Amino acid sequence: MTVGTAVRNPLVAGVLGVVLGAAPLAALYTVAAPATAHAQGSPPPAAVTSAEPRGGVAVLLPDFTTLVKKFGPAVVNVRVIEKAPEDQGNDNPFGPNSPFAPFFRGLPFQAPPQEQPIRGEGSGFIIQPDGLILTNAHVVAGATRVTVQLTDRREYTAKVIGVDKTADVAVIKIAANNLPTVNLGDSSSLQVGQWVLAIGAPFGFENSATAGIVSAKGRTLPDSGYVPFIQTDVPINPGNSGGPLFNMQGKVIGINSQIYSRTGGYMGVSFSIPINVAMQVAHQLMTTGHVERGKLGVVIQNVDQGLADSFGLPEPEGALVSSVEDNGPAAKAGVKSGDVILALNGQSIQTSSQLPVRIASLMPGTAVTLTLWRDHSKRDVSVKLGSMGNETVASAQNPQHQGGSLGLAVRPLTGDEQAQAHTHGGLLVEGVSGPSEDAGIQPGDVVLAANGQRVSTVEQLRSAVERSRGHVALLVQRGNTRIFVPVQVP
């Protein structure tokens, strides 16, 4: 279960966070050096110190004390108040609209308790000395009042400059000057295994520091397909959201955002927004008040070995286009269902989750070059990106089952059925067995294509299977969803 929203209720306010990592560590275990070997120079923001147990072997661990002293004052506690849900009055037997109200006029009675405002709490960090602060969108979205507390206990009412829920980034500002600030780093240089430090307010305990390493990069999460999250094992809990993630050089490389949890607390898997992505969003919020993202207009899915075999790909890679938006940017450029997008502007697409992130980082109107795999060969097409708005950039879907004779009983769709399914041609599945059943195809599905070739007759489907060399990728429509399903033909 992925948890990524602020924990808010009348009693406890918390926000969930994440962490990033940075800075290589040459060796974790080494023989202890003489005490005089570390006497020169001043320590970096995070130094490496040794603890010597019995046997003369020292364990090298990062020392974050200098980093915390220098940049801890730039990390703030963010408290929010949301308006309580309005009482509709219809369920109150003593309310003025109640049919029993006339019987109680003039009689003293105790009114039912009023709903208390919802209070929440998170973290943030100062990026400019004039009071500009970054935090998570889910910390301040919907708040009627935002209060920022500094480490010296001063408090300010903050103004929300802009909120982008898609990237979960918000910019707020307080009326102050000469404030301590953090140093921003480059999240693109992160390496898995680097040490990182998070500072925030878990459970309201402001300015708490926790450390760990970068576990993975480029993670995509449900409903967050446009952010390549950094995964860490830094202990993050409610209240850490919006706080900074530092590398060992003392530079912010991410914003704590979400955790994976079955209990609501830390379980060793945390996620943060790369600072490069966050600052790109923050700049647009500060200059225009909203964020624009490029749009390709396709629905994609990952390519597994079965699909790679079906389409003749040398290896499973790229983003398989399962459907194309009518009159969208991709459709206008000639992209078709069944194409596999292998590269964007010459940069390879290894998994489908990489494509939405890269497209969303580009501005509408940008011309991009897609490298496609079609009919067992590569080709390049140029696409002028549209504007995402609240629509889909390039949404990813994954088949629930992977998968003859096909084991299908099918018939052509009638004209009315084609109109209802918003398609031309296609075969209605009336019975399933064998490989197709194993692959997850169900009665009522509509088979639109086989290995990229449209099918309208049983003979066309049979011919495609005979040419499939043991693997056939069926484009199946179920309801309003289209997806390729690989079927292994015996």
With a cut of 60, say whether residue 202 has pLDDT above it: yes
For 391-448, the pLDDT digits (tens) are 444 544 433 333 246 778 888 887 777 888 888 888 988 888 778 888 888 888 899 9
**Could you give the 3-state DSSP secondary structure of residue 34?**
coil
With a cut of 50, say whether residue 278 has pLDDT above it: yes
pLDDT of residue 116: 57
Averaged pLDDT for residues 293-313: 91
pLDDT of residue 420: 80
pLDDT of residue 241: 92
- Does 279 or 81 have the greater pLDDT score? 279
- Does 457 or 84 have the greater pLDDT score? 457
Which residues are marked as active site?
138, 168, 241
With a cut of 60, say whether residue 300 has pLDDT above it: yes
pLDDT of residue 413: 82
With a cut of 60, say whether residue 228 has pLDDT above it: yes
Task: Give the model's confidence band at 56: pLDDT under 50 very low, under 70 low, under 90 confident, else very high.
Answer: low
Exposed, middle or buried: residue 354 (CB in 10 Å: 0-12, 13-18, 19+)? buried
Mean pLDDT for the chain overall: 80
For 348-366, the pLDDT digits (tens) are 999 988 899 899 889 999 9
Averaged pLDDT for residues 384-390: 80
With a cut of 60, say whether residue 380 has pLDDT above it: yes
Per-residue CA distances from 124 to 199, 224, 237, 336, 369 (Å) = 9, 20, 14, 44, 38
Say what the pTM is: 0.67
Please give the Cα distance from 155 to 14 (Å, whole number).
Answer: 19
Which residue bears the tokens 């489907």? 461
With a cut of 60, say whether residue 317 has pLDDT above it: yes
Considering only CA atoms, which of 211, 178, 179 is closest in space to residue 194? 211
Sign of CA dihedral 121, 124, 128, 129: positive
pLDDT of residue 109: 47
What does the block give as tokens for 148? Answer: 């920022």
pLDDT of residue 55: 55
Domain covering 294-397: architecture: Roll (2.30)
Task: Give the model's confidence band at 270: pLDDT under 50 very low, under 70 low, under 90 confident, else very high.
Answer: very high
- Does 239 or 29 have the greater pLDDT score? 239
DSSP state of 35: G
pLDDT of residue 35: 42
pLDDT of residue 260: 83
| CB neighbour list of residue 390: distance below 8 Å, 6 or more residues apart | none
- Does 51 or 258 have the greater pLDDT score? 258
pLDDT of residue 285: 92
Whether 259 and 269 have beta carbons less than 8 Å apart is answered as yes
pLDDT of residue 470: 74
pLDDT of residue 487: 87
Averaged pLDDT for residues 51-69: 74
State which fold the 1-27+44-87+116-288 domain adopts. Answer: Thrombin, subunit H (2.40.10)
Task: Give the model's confidence band at 57: pLDDT under 50 very low, under 70 low, under 90 confident, else very high.
Answer: low
pLDDT of residue 49: 59
What does the block give as tokens for 412? Answer: 């052509």
DSSP state of 38: G
For 88-140, the pLDDT digits (tens) are 444 455 455 555 444 444 445 455 555 556 678 899 999 999 999 999 999 99
Please give the Cα distance from 73 to 151 (Å, whole number).
Answer: 6
Q: What is the CATH number of domain 408-488?
A: 2.30.42.10
With a cut of 50, say whether residue 325 has pLDDT above it: yes
**Could you give the 3-state DSSP secondary structure of residue 125?**
strand
Please give the Cα distance from 356 to 398 (Å, whole number).
Answer: 14
Whether 32 and 289 have beta carbons less than 8 Å apart is answered as no
Do 294-397 and 408-488 share a fold? yes
pLDDT of residue 38: 42
With a cut of 70, say whether residue 342 has pLDDT above it: yes
For 16-25, 133-142, 241-250, 475-484, which range has the lowest pLDDT when averaged over its residues? Answer: 16-25
Considering only CA atoms, which of 120, 127, 20 is closest in space to residue 76? 127
For 436-487, the pLDDT digits (tens) are 888 888 888 899 988 888 888 888 888 888 777 778 889 999 888 888 888 8
**Could you give the 3-state DSSP secondary structure of residue 358?**
helix
Whether 172 and 124 have beta carbons less than 8 Å apart is answered as yes
What does the block give as tokens for 228? Answer: 């390549």
Averaged pLDDT for residues 217-226: 80
Task: Give the model's confidence band at 142: pLDDT under 50 very low, under 70 low, under 90 confident, else very high.
Answer: confident
With a cut of 50, say whether residue 225 has pLDDT above it: yes
Task: Give the model's confidence band at 321: pLDDT under 50 very low, under 70 low, under 90 confident, else very high.
Answer: very high
**Could you give the 3-state DSSP secondary structure of residue 243?**
coil
Percent of the chain beyond pLDDT 70? 77
| Residues facing residue 473 across a β-bridge | 486
Domain map (residue ranges) of the chain: 1-27+44-87+116-288, 294-397, 408-488
- Does 32 or 250 have the greater pLDDT score? 250
